[in-house]
Amino acid sequence: MIWKTYLVMYFRAGDEKASDVVKKVESVGFECTVGPIDFIYQWKKEPTKTEILNLADKLTTALRGTGVMFNIDTHNSS
């Protein structure tokens, strides 16, 4: 089984540049993709609720001050 967290972000015009935001998100461990999902984080094992929340906390910290809103969805992709 492959567990992944899918990330979709929402930008506001006039806030931080998308290219700068991408660098921040990638620093948390997400990979940029093309399509309806902006980024994917691949887990090495089935994550616990606490691990998913910790990842969301890291993402929140990385995006602080950017004006970006996001949605994450974690599930087994196989």
How do residues 19-69 score in pLDDT, each as one tens digit? 999 999 999 999 999 999 999 999 999 999 999 999 999 999 999 999 999
C-beta of residue 68 within 8 angstroms of C-beta of residue 11: yes
Cα(78)–Cα(63) distance, integer angstroms = 29
The overall pTM is greater than 0.85: yes
Domain covering 3-76: architecture = 2-Layer Sandwich (3.30)
HSE-CB of 9 using CA atoms within 13 angstroms? 24
- The amino acid sitting at 1 is M
Residue 15 predicted with pLDDT over 80: no
Which pLDDT score, from 0 to 100, does residue 1 have? 81
Which pLDDT score, from 0 to 100, does residue 33 have? 95
Cα(17)–Cα(72) distance, integer angstroms = 21
